[in-house]
Amino acid sequence: MKLFFVKVSVFIGVLFLLNSCGIKRSMQDRPDISGIENIDTTRTKLSDTHYRIGENSMYKNKYGIWELYIEGDALERGVISGSLTRELMHKQETAFMEKIYELVPGTGYRNFLKKTVAWFNRKMYLHVPEEYKQEIYGTSLFGLQKYNEFAPAYVRMLYFHGAHDIGHALQDLMLVGCTSFAAWDNKTEDGQLLLGRNFDFYAGDEFAEEKIAAFVNPDKGHKFMMYTWAGMIGSVSGLNEKRISVTINAGKSKIPMQAKTPISLVTREILQYASSTKEAIEIAKKREVFVSESIMVGSASEHKAILIEVAPGNFGVYEVDNSNKLICSNHFQSEAYAEDNRNLKAIEESHTQYRFDKMQELLSEKEKLNPQIAAEILRNKEGLKGAKLGMGNEMAINQLLAHHGIIFKPEERKVWVSANPYQLGAFVAYDLDTAFKKFEDGNVSGSVMLAEETIAEDPFVNTEAYKDYEKYRKLSREITEAISKEKEVSEDKIKRLKYLNPHFWEVYKIAGDYYFKQREFKKAVINYKQAKRREVTTLPDEEYLDKMIKKSYRKI
């Protein structure tokens, strides 16, 4: 995961470092913004946690989740959303850009990256619907001006929506470990369709601090709710008034040569315009994507869930026969990918099959599911048959890095979203019918959540084990940075690293790497062998340990 974050951060940086050619192409295709001068952007501050613009509003509830309501046409939604969330959007931008400054400090290297990115993004704007370009443009009016030296705000925001795709595409050796499930009929307490997922997209701690439960009432299509962050009009998790839910899970992708439609905009279109799985499939089919992704679509009216599996040059739909559950990790299951070498390699080498099997085990252990049990499943940190994986292992359903967990009961138009930290905080409940009625009637003076249906936080957050994990995360970053800079670290810190997370193989890999750099090869071998005695995340990880053991022995 550490290597993944560095790769993603660098490429996100690349996405924003555009040269004049790329900028001109995007700006020449600026959407129709006629009438923008008539949109009221005057924000009324009712308190530090409550803002309004006309009927639109944003309120922060007691769990730290912002509840946003916006309505109108695309340009209105974008402008008003940007105005209401401006401080939150600035925080998201800063989180990205500060990482870019850190990872790409040289002016000469940045100029080189600008040329590369201009070529990569040269046709992305051709694959984004006009409606969403208008909405992104409206939002971009409130972007931070200090980053305009890299690219105008509209261009930055446009490419911002491809960050999720690029993050997954750069996972050559492993995948971001999103895991999701759906259950219905005799697998749930009331027979209704129930879906749950973890969104394990990590772009730094600050990026995940401010989450938004956005309720959108567009002038075209259906009302919908999505769990998101400021500046993001695409959807990674959402439910609409027609009782269609959508979530996304990464598939194995090669690094793309050209940006097309960001997957979050495909799922946003499904949320806004689909009322059945058939319509969802039609929407997904007409969009060209540039990475591989599974879209889980739940449909209350059809009483089922399906997987739409999209990739550049391929398309499949997977449904279960004679079953009451559907599981999705990070590999494809439809016939269209049965002989796909990249997909087969992901199953063999990554942790996707392990998590799939673990989810299968958890669902089998629970005779009947409800939202409370769904939350317990999403928070599970153990391996198969209760194996100790160590905290933060990507083989776990709960990898302790999720941006959020989310649970849907589409038939009742209800959704539960996790508060910080990760998916360990309370799962806050919302009823779409109740929430939209309050928003439209102007009866909102506070939160629209269903307080009585909130699922309590995981008791784990109040344990010493959780505190140790947070200390481990900080210390592991410190030691990893020291290794890269070939600096010395005290023996006490190495010992403490092991004490804080003793069952995690990566602890011993880090120690082995440190001793190898310090030319203490016997200690390196001992630690690499200790790592191999734990549950190692992927086949490439195991191969790395074997390689380093051999290299260390040769130097002893």
Q: Provide CATH 1.25.40 ranges for the chain.
A: 465-554
Q: Provide CATH 3.60.60.10 ranges for the chain.
A: 179-461
d(CA 490, CA 488): 7
| Sign (positive or negative) of CA dihedral 29, 124, 276, 250 | negative
- Chain-centroid distance of CA 187 in Å reads 27
pTM of the model: 0.92
Query: Which residues fall within 8 angstroms of residue 338, CB to CB, at 6 or more apart?
Result: none
d(CA 55, CA 57): 7
Give me the pLDDT at residue 160, please. Answer: 79
DSSP three-state, residue 249: strand
In contact, 204 and 229? CB cutoff 8 Å: no
Give me the pLDDT at residue 175, please. Answer: 41
User: At what angle are helices 464-484 and 2-16 packed, to 10 degrees?
Assistant: 70
d(CA 443, CA 503): 51
Give me the pLDDT at residue 18, please. Answer: 35
Give me the pLDDT at residue 124, please. Answer: 73
Give me the pLDDT at residue 285, please. Answer: 97
Give me the pLDDT at residue 250, please. Answer: 85
Give me the pLDDT at residue 396, please. Answer: 97
Structure tokens at 39: 């949109």
Give me the pLDDT at residue 176, please. Answer: 55
In contact, 337 and 330? CB cutoff 8 Å: no
Q: Which of 520, 463, 522, 531 has its CA nearest to residue 497?
A: 531
**Fold exhibited by the domain 465-554:** 1.25.40
Calculate the alpha carbon distances from 142 to 92, 163, 431 in Å: 12, 19, 30
Structure tokens at 169: 């595409």
**Strand partners of residue 347:** none
d(CA 372, CA 443): 29
Tens of pLDDT along the chain (556 residues) come to 444 444 444 444 444 433 334 445 555 578 989 989 999 999 999 999 999 999 999 999 999 999 999 999 999 999 999 999 999 999 988 887 776 666 666 666 555 655 555 566 667 778 899 999 999 999 999 999 888 877 788 988 887 787 667 655 555 433 457 899 999 999 999 999 999 999 998 777 888 899 999 999 999 999 999 999 999 999 999 999 999 999 999 887 666 666 688 999 999 999 999 999 999 999 999 999 988 899 999 999 999 999 999 999 999 999 998 899 999 999 999 999 999 999 999 999 999 999 999 999 999 999 999 999 999 999 999 999 999 999 999 999 999 999 999 999 999 999 999 999 999 999 999 999 999 999 999 888 899 999 999 999 999 999 999 999 999 999 999 999 999 999 999 999 999 999 999 999 999 999 999 999 999 999 999 999 999 999 999 999 999 999 999 999 999 8
**Fold exhibited by the domain 179-461:** Penicillin V Acylase; Chain A (3.60.60)
Structure tokens at 390: 């160590």
Give me the pLDDT at residue 258, please. Answer: 67
**Strand partners of residue 406:** 197, 417
Structure tokens at 37: 């001068």
Per 3-state DSSP, what percentage of the chain is helix, strand, and coil (rounded to 5)? 45, 20, 35
DSSP three-state, residue 168: helix
Instruction: Write phi, then psi, for 319 (nearest 5 degrees).
Output: -130, 150
In contact, 406 and 416? CB cutoff 8 Å: yes
- Total residues belonging to the chain: 556
d(CA 206, CA 215): 23
d(CA 278, CA 270): 11
